[in-house]
Chains A and B, each alone.
Chain A
Amino acid sequence: MSIHGNTVLIANRGEIAVRIMQACTDLGLDFVALYTEEDRLSGHVDAARKLGGDKAVYRINNYLDAGDILSVADQAGATAIHPGYGFFSENYRFARRVSERDRPMTFIGPSWRVIRDLGDKINTKRLARGLGVPTVPGSDRAIYDEMEAETIAENLFEFQANMGIKRPVVLVKASAGGGGMGIDEVEDMARFRQTYRRIRNYSLRTFNDEGVLIEQRVFNFNHLEVQIVSDRSGKNPVHFGTRNCSVQSPGLQKRIEVAPGFWPQALRYEFDATRVIDDITGYSLSIAREIDYDNVGTWEWIVTPDGKPFLMEVNTRIQVENGVSADIASVRGDGNVNLIREQIRIGLGEPLGYTQKDVSFDGVSIEYRLIAEDTENGFAPWVGRIDELKWTQHDWLSVHTHVPLDRPYQIPTEYDPNLALAIIRGADLEEAKRRGLEFLADLRLSGVDSGGGAMKSNIPFLQDRTENLLEF
């Protein structure tokens, strides 16, 4: 099946929009880019004009206004929509609407049913358990009965004690909740009922549902993820290795991602790291096969200090950090791998064209997220004008940014504060870390805020954390 003749509407902004445009251009596809009033000076608009000309650029009111986006798509004659990450990327209703409207288009992402089924955490957990994939101990469905809830909590305390956990903690969360709302922890059984009732009542008030989940609280874990790529047949999922995303802000936002997930070649782990990596890739693939997963996706795992992995959730979209996986991967020996390109290609219906055997890995890749924020001060976002963003080019470095390099740039306050992604490759962890520090030291990033204060960025934080990357 040929993908030629397709026009991809990019329903996103910033650096991901730029990367999608580049991938489209690589594939010889036309694209349509969008921007809003606040974003008119963003670099992604420049890139769109450069790669696609003026006809490829449309202004809309809001990146979240589906009707607006679809009418642009109709007018521009788009045949597919790439949602990027964030915005509509995991909205199954949008995906369904794109593919089932009177003038249907291709949604470049998994089919809407997959997005829906894996978007429901309880459903994902049950799916995993059904396949024998380890998940966080606790309930795998909403609990409505107080007696049942107490039994589960009691068993969880006992279970953790048996596992040798010194200070067992149980989480009580509203099953309809999310994003840290309606969640609390309990340290002993005596306080359980009180907490349970509070969360239940909160949930009833807020979500009109009394269902509560009860789970073990896992401490000191590493955050790993498995990159899956699978074509529309859903039958031949391939993994592109693991990533370690354990360096996060206090608000659990990722700051550094490293591929692969562990580095047993040089670091000592308390457990068999190779086996953990094999296990989680195997488990991830088994779920992908079960549900006929048909695009790129990321399986998020937590790994406990004693090497037990638990599946957390599945992100049914391309991730920010896809670049590090591509960086260390080769397909049939070809190191020029681009997962966004792969996503568009298979999203439009082309078969994947290779199997797991053809995919090999080599080296270490680190991604830094450069963000204007005050890491000394609760990671508060910094807002102002960027006057300079400059770095030395290397063959081991790629930088993705929508910040224009030829003029000052005012950071819009409406969107997330990511400024740039820097991806650094090394033959081994040592080299990658060294190059990373070299890059950070060399990087010039400055600006002023409206009060005349100097720009604050997370560079010192990134430097500090590079030291212990991939160590547990």
Chain B
Amino acid sequence: MSIEKKLTELMQRVNYAREILGNKDRPELDAFAKEIAEFPDKNIVVADDRAMRALQFLEKRIATMETAIDAQLTAMDKVRIVRHPQRVCLKDILENVYDNYTEIGGKDEHSIDPGMLIARAYITRRKGRKIINQPVMVVGQEKGHGQEFRNGGSIKPWGNSKALKYMKVAAREQIPIHTYVNTPGSYPVEDFPGAAQQIAENIYEMAGLSVPVIAIFSEGGSGGAEAIGMADKRLMLSHGYYSVISPEGAAAIEGRIKGSERAPTELIESCAIAQQITAQDNLRNGYIDAIIQEPPLGARPDHFDFYKQLREQVVRATDEVTLSVRGLRLVRAFAMRHFHKNADIIVRWNLTENARERLVARRFRKYRKLATQAYIDERSLLDKLSATSSDIVSSTTSAVNYGLVKPFRQKVGRIVEEAMDEIHVVTGKLDAMYRSGLKKLGVKSNGDRQKEMELTGLSRTDSGETCTDNACDYVSPQARADREISCPHAEKRGCLDIWARDLFTDFAGVCPNCGYNFPMEYQWYLHNVFDKGSIREFNRDIVAGNPTGFPGFDKRIEQAREKTGLKSSCMTFNASLEGTRLTCTTLIANFRGGSVGAAEGEKFIRALELAQSKHQPFLAYVHGTAGIRIQEGVNGLIQMPRCTMAVRKYIEEGGLYIVLYDTNSYAGPVASFLGCSPYQYAVRSSRLGFAGPGVIKETTGVEIPPDYHNCFKALSRGHIQGVWSRKDIRKNLQQAFQTIGGRNLYYR
């Protein structure tokens, strides 16, 4: 290698180090750069081999320097490493980790979404003379070292849809899936299939893939990462990050920065640290299973040792997942031990029917256990004990009820019905004979008199009194003021101003002229949607905390608790609607924007489990949610797959899951456990989607129209099934439960 080339390479390494450090002042790098620059002049007279030796010396020095810098890398430095164009990309990995591959679902820019790269690859393993090719489906975001058409690995909804399609192909063909997560986040557009809705579907479907899925995180940006990140084993590159939001985004929210301004660098740095986004943080918190060590300052394309290590760990992870569900349980443990001792064992990756079921079940258990340390359980020991025991009781009773009693009762019922029919034929004949006899005798039945009474007298109503006042027992604080409210559409639709007391009582917050729904408090729904006095809240004492120790956040949670009297943004309760017992959750916008953290996720999951054991339909009323609670970092983000899995489990068991959006619902929850419901509805005038207008403007540069997220737009795009006026919620919900749930309400 020529000296000049070597020098350029060294210079590149220096520049790279400077770049990833965010151009912070590093005198040693400057000095070194100067030395490189002066090298040709200094060594102009020396012989080549001496110059070479000097160069090798320089190289060693920079390596030492890199190691030294590597030890001091901050979270934000790692973010810069991951985003650097020199960062290894999926193509590099396909070339170097796998033994052969074919790209599918498009090629380079000729693809529905060039940022999403899919390949059928195989790993060749030798056993003696025998060569075994083990096929895998590789799915991942490709940044292509800054190729513009890759869009920086920011995946459009249809790109995620493509990924899901081929993951399903893999499941059909029974080959493992390796997903390489390397995205700053999904591309926030609502065009069909919609960013949020598609991510939700991806998570939901991946939860049930019956093949081993290994995810390798490099840049794990929020929902975009979860779209392909649901896996049996989650590995992470040592210099990667995995976070609910980019540190810049977090800083913008924390610093309440609007428009095109930038958050101060210090705030960004501190957010990056506080959110616990690095591989080491995530391993400690349990959100990844292992770290793949990268060379100092991160892996770049010619770090061949890194590929070797990556290959080893990916293969090993796949082996482990396969082994952990294969064969008999007793043998399994033994096999695992044996496997750990002898690294050269080749495991075949195909699974039997039973093993596949075990694999999916294991995945559920894995996610169920995550983040359980990240909320505060304020229940007393006694409460916990009684909860556990009642859990056992209710699951046993439900097993008895639905497994034994119900089929028996149905059988008896059928026999009785048939017998009655027979008897009826006989009695019907007798009755007719009796009546015709009377007629012949000229006796007039007193039926006529009764009919007349029915037509002219007062009829009995079933419900006694109907509550025509919506205000009968809940009066919105907005209704207390003697003032007039203008409908926001007054200009266009000619609505007159409305008296606040009328608007927020009789009109239920709906403009009587144009039907615009003003935002109402969540309490209104509790009082007007469900049967009177039927609400029983549970798990109130699972409490939102500050699992990351985010600076100053304890106080803000405390403030939210005081302001709302709630302990988390999620309220879970049992209630009935026209006599139908339901399990419900509601995300309440007043408590930190209805954001979802570990406590909210846990409550959601427990509610689903309860609904399942009680065989009740499940309603998620979203009073409003701003997304995942960013201060909780991955503790919050992980609720996306966790809750979605719980939803899937509930639905697979036959449950009926209905989601109703109100006010504003955005981001993570919509892109997972809410968006995955097949039956989603929205209250009129609500907005829902993936990212708000500001984020869209910032990430895509596109200025969206103001009604972009309007519920009717969501309906047109096929994301939801209907738009309801607030006044009709109760009736429409009942209708939905009746028609979708059918006669047996919920159990298929």
Residues of A at the B interface (CB closer than 8 Å) are: 62, 64-67, 93, 96-97, 100-102, 120, 126, 129-130, 134-135, 137-141, 152, 155-156, 158-159, 162, 208, 216
Query: Is the pair A130, B458 in contact by a Cβ cutoff of 8 Å?
Result: yes
A64 to B513 alpha-carbon distance, docked (Å): 13
B38-46, B494-502, B634-642, B711-719: which lies at the interface: B494-502
**Contact segment of B29-37, B115-123, B449-457:** B449-457
Which one of B448, B455, B456, B484 contacts A67 once the chains associate, using CB atoms below 8 Å?
A: B484
Please state if A65 and B497 are interface contacts (CB–CB under 8 Å): yes
3 shortest interchain CB distances as A-B pairs: A129-B458, A102-B482, A137-B455
CA distance A102 to B482 in the complex (A): 6
A93 touches B448 (CB 8 A): no
Please, which residue of chain B has its CB at the minimum distance from the CB of A97? Answer: B499
Which of the four size classes fits the interface of chain B? 20 to 34
Jot down 22 A-B pairs with beta carbons below 8 A, ordered by A.
A65-B496, A66-B496, A67-B484, A67-B496, A96-B501, A96-B502, A97-B499, A126-B459, A129-B456, A129-B458, A129-B459, A134-B456, A137-B455, A138-B455, A152-B454, A155-B454, A158-B448, A158-B451, A159-B452, A162-B448, A208-B728, A216-B455
B477-500: CB near A (< 8 Å → 1, else 0) gives 000001010000000000011010
A154's nearest neighbour on chain B, judged by CB, is B451
For residue B451, which residues in chain A have a CB less than 8 angstroms away from its CB? 155, 158-159
Give complex CA distance A19, B465 in Å. 41
Q: Contact at A126–B458, with CB atoms within 8 Å?
A: yes
Chain B positions 702 through 743: 1 when the CB is less than 8 Å from some CB of chain A, otherwise 0: 000000000000000000000001011001000000000000
B506 within 8 A of A: yes
Collect the chain B residues with CB atoms within 8 Å of residue A162's CB: 448
The minimal Cβ–Cβ distance linking A81 to chain B, given in whole angstroms, is 14
Q: Is the CB of A137 within 8 A of B459?
A: no
Q: How far is the CB of A321 from chain B (nearest CB, A)?
A: 29
Q: CB distance A64 to B448 under 8 Å? A: no
Additional A-B contacts beyond A64-B496, A158-B451 (4; CB < 8 A): A66-B496, A96-B502, A155-B454, A208-B731
Taking the nearest CB of chain A, how far is it from the CB of B419, in angstroms?
Answer: 25
**A141 in complex: contacting residue of B455, B456, B461, CB < 8 Å:** B461
Give the chain A neighbours of B482 by CB distance below 8 A. Answer: 101-102
A93, B456: Cβ atoms under 8 Å?
Answer: no
Q: Which residues of B have CB within 8 Å of A135? A: 456
Which A residues are in CB contact (< 8 Å) with B731? 208
Contact check: which of A66, A101, A156 meets B455 at CB < 8 Å?
A156
B455 touches A159 (CB 8 A): yes
A208 touches B725 (CB 8 A): yes
Among A101, A139, A158, the residue within 8 A (CB) of B459 is A139
Return A170 CB to nearest CB of chain B, in Å. Answer: 11
Please pick, from B452, B496, B502, B728, the residue contacting A97 in the complex, using a CB distance under 8 A: B502
CB distance from A271 to the nearest CB of B (A): 18
> Whole-angstrom distance between the alpha carbons of A97 and B725 in the complex?
25
Residues of chain A within 8 A of B506, CB atoms compared: 93
**B454 & A97 in contact (Cβ 8 Å cutoff):** no
Q: A102-B482, A140-B459 are in contact. Are A93 and B454 (CB under 8 A)?
A: no
- Alpha-carbon gap, A102 to B499, bound state (A): 12
Q: Output the residue of B457, B458, B496 with the most chain A CB within 10 A.
A: B458
Task: Using CB atoms, name the residue of chain A closest to B497.
Answer: A67
A residues near B454, Cβ cutoff 8 Å: 152, 155
Given the known interface contacts A67-B484, A208-B725, the answer about A152 and B499 at a Cβ–Cβ threshold of 8 Å is no
Q: For residue A147, give the distance in angstroms from its CB to the closest CB of chain B.
A: 14
Chain A's closest residue to B512 (CB) is: A93
Determine how close the nearest CB of chain B comes to the CB of A111; give it in whole angstroms.
Answer: 15
B499 touches A66 (CB 8 A): yes
Chain B contacts for A156, CB-based, 8 A:
455
Asked if A129 and B457 sit within 8 Å, CB to CB, the answer is: yes
Q: Bound complex: CA of A440 vs CA of B472, how far in Å?
A: 55
Q: Which of B521-577 contact A (CB under 8 A)?
A: none
| Nearest neighbor of B455 in chain A, beta-carbon distance | A137
State in angstroms the CA–CA spacing of A134 and B731 once bound together.
33
- Are B501's CB and A97's CB within 8 A? yes
Measured between C-beta atoms, what is the minimum distance from A217 to chain B in Å?
13
Give the residue name and chain of the B residue nearest to A125 (CB). Answer: B458
C-alpha spacing A65/B495, complex, angstroms: 10
Report the bound CA distance from A190 to B728 in whole Å: 33
Q: State the CA gap A377–B30 with chains docked (Å).
A: 99
Closest A-chain residue to B506, C-beta based? A93
**Which chain A residue has the least Cβ–Cβ distance from B732?**
A208
Measured in the bound complex, the distance between the Cα atoms of B731 and A67 in whole Å is 33
- Which residues of chain A come closer than 8 Å to B468, judged between CB atoms? 120
Residues of A within 8 Å of B502, CB to CB, are 93, 96-97
Q: Give CA–CA (A40, B353) in the complex, Å.
A: 87
The complex places the Cα of A97 from the Cα of B452 at a distance, in Å, of: 43
* Cα(A96)–Cα(B458), bound, Å: 29
Residue in chain A with minimal CB distance to B484: A67
What residues on A are CB-neighbors of B484 within 8 Å? 67
Min CB–CB distance B458 → chain A (angstroms): 4
A114 to B: closest C-beta gap in Å:
15
Q: Specify which chain B residues have a CB less than 8 angstroms from the CB of A155 in the assembled complex.
A: 451, 454-455
Instruction: Give the nearest-CB partner of A155 in chain B.
Output: B451
Set of chain A residues within 8 Å of B461, measured between Cβ atoms? 141
A206 to chain B, nearest CB (A): 13
CB-CB nearest in chain B for A215: B455
Question: Is A93 within 8 A of B452, CB to CB?
Answer: no
Contact assessment for B456 and A137 in the assembled complex, using a CB-CB cutoff below 8 Å: yes
| A93 touching B499 in the complex, CB below 8 Å, given contacts A102-B482, A140-B459, A155-B455 | yes
Q: Considering only CB atoms, which chain A residue lies closest to B460 in the complex?
A: A141
Q: How far is the CB of A118 from chain B (nearest CB, A)?
A: 14
Please, how many angstroms separate the alpha-carbon atoms of A67 and B501 in the complex?
Answer: 13
Distance (whole angstroms) from the CB of B733 to the closest CB of chain A = 14
B493 → A minimal CB distance (Å) = 15
A24–B173 CA distance with the chains assembled, in angstroms? 91
CB distance from B729 to the nearest CB of A (A): 12
Contacts of B496 in A (CB 8 A): 62, 64-67
Q: How far is the CB of A98 from chain B (nearest CB, A)?
A: 10
User: Nearest residue in B to A128 (C-beta to C-beta)?
Assistant: B458
Distance in angstroms between the alpha carbons of A137 and B458 in the assembled complex: 11
Contacts of B455 in A (CB 8 A): 137-138, 152, 155-156, 159, 216
Distance between Cα atoms of A138 and B459 in the complex (Å): 10
Q: In the assembly, what is the distance between CA of A141 and CA of B728, in Å?
A: 20
A93 (CB) vs chain B CBs: closest residue: B502
In this complex, the member of B455, B456, B482, B499 whose beta carbon has the largest number of chain A beta carbons within 10 angstroms is B455
CB of A215, distance to nearest CB on chain B (Å): 9
With A and B bound together, what is the CA distance between A137 and B452 in angstroms?
8
B101 to chain A minimum Cβ distance, whole angstroms, is 57
User: Which B residues are CB-close (under 8 A) to A97?
Assistant: 499, 501-502
Query: Contacts A64-B496, A155-B451, A159-B452: A141 and B501 contacting too (C-beta < 8 A)?
Result: no
What residues of B have a CB within 8 angstroms of the CB of A102 in the complex? 482
Q: CA A156 – CA B451 in complex, angstroms?
A: 9
Give complex CA distance A100, B501 in Å.
10
Listed residue (A64, A66, A156) with the most chain B CB atoms within 10 angstroms of its CB: A66
Cα–Cα distance between A96 and B469 once the two chains are bound (Å): 13
> In whole Å, how far is A415's beta carbon from the nearest beta carbon of chain B?
17
In the bound complex, CA of A140 to CA of B457 (Å): 8
Chain A proximity of B505: nearest CB distance (Å): 10
Least distance between B544 CB and chain A CB atoms (Å)? 38
CA distance A242 to B640 in the complex (A): 72
- What is the CB-to-nearest-CB distance from A96 to chain B, in angstroms, rounded to a whole number? 8
A300 to chain B, nearest CB (A): 18
Chain B CB within 10 A, most for which of A93, A152, A162: A93
How many whole Å from B37's CB to the nearest CB in chain A? Answer: 77
What is the bound-complex CA distance between A212 and B457, given in angstroms? 18
Separation of A216 and B455 alpha carbons in the complex (Å)? 9
- Find chain B residues with CB under 8 A from A152 CB: 454-455
**Interfacial residues of chain B within 262-321, with CB under 8 A of chain A in the complex:** none
Distance, CA A141 to CA B463, complexed state (A): 12
B459 to chain A, nearest CB (A): 5
Q: Which residues of B are found within 8 Å of A120, using beta-carbon distances?
A: 468
